[in-house]
Amino acid sequence: MRTKTAVISIQDLTLEAIPALSGALKAVPGVESVDFNVGRSVAVVEFDAEQSKVDDLLRAVLKAGYKVM
Domain presence at residue 69: no
Residue 28: how many CA atoms within 13 Å on its side-chain side?
28
What is the extent of the structural domain holding 44? 3-63
Looking at the 3D structure of the chain, how many domains does it have? 1
CATH number for the domain including 52?
3.30.70.100
What is 6-69 written as a DSSP string?
Answer: EEEEBTT--GGGHHHHHHHHHTSTTEEEEEEETTTTEEEEEEETTT--HHHHHHHHHHTT--B-
> The whole model's pTM is what?
0.93
Give 27-61 pLDDT, tens digit per residue.
999 999 999 999 999 999 999 999 999 999 999 99
Q: Measure the CA–CA gap between 68 and 32, rounded to whole angstroms.
A: 20
Chain-centre distance of CA 48, in angstroms?
Answer: 13
Q: What is the mean pLDDT of residues 3-31?
A: 97
Domain presence at residue 68: no
